[in-house]
Amino acid sequence: MAANLPSFRMGTETHADHVLTGEVAGSVAAVPGSGAFPEAELTFTLTDGRAITLVLGEEQAHDLTSSIYSLDKHVWSEQHEAEPAPATEAEVPDVSDVDAGPDTAHELMMVLEQRFGVTRDFMLAHVDWSAVVVVGEPAVSTLLERADELAEAVAPRWFPGATERPGEFWVVLYRDFAR
């Protein structure tokens, strides 16, 4: 602790007792101050049982934080670099059979063509690609007959639905953010 430093709260000098030194036990308690000015209170409990509370203004707290960061960066980081990292063996799960479904509208169109035989001739897309519409036969009938398989193939980013238009049905695949 430094002695004879001006206090930023009152503008007077404080005299710290040079005997207030010791090893800190446990962690430091930091709470907002209870005074009339914005401040922080740091309470250190020493190994001999004494507790010391420091009241810091905003600039002092910033300087303390900066100094501690500097210590961490220049002093303790060397120790951490010298210590070998503990070897950990993590089992990597087999994700080769996982199908995350199509992400983009172009990927969706590829899934529709490859898995369901629905070509681009039967597809319309919204200008912002928030939905892909399948129109015409036999494409609509195929998708309606295989609705559960379709929902599983396009999840989780796309949601299929059917809508009735005058004289026909459409299958509409909505992007997850468009609902």
Model pTM score = 0.44
Average model confidence (pLDDT) across the chain:
78
Cα gap 16→142, rounded to integer Å: 85
Average pLDDT over residues 87-100: 73
**pLDDT tens digit sequence for 138-167:** 999 999 999 999 998 888 888 899 998 888
Q: What is the arithmetic mean of pLDDT over 12-17? A: 56
Distances (CA, A) of 141 to 26, 40, 120, 123, 175: 70, 70, 16, 14, 21
Residues of the chain with pLDDT > 90, as a percent, come to 17
Q: Rounded distance, CA 163 to CA 144, Å? A: 11
d(CA 158, CA 106): 12
Give the model confidence (pLDDT) of 38-68 as tens digits. 688 878 787 877 778 878 887 887 787 788 7
Helix or strand or coil: residue 171? strand
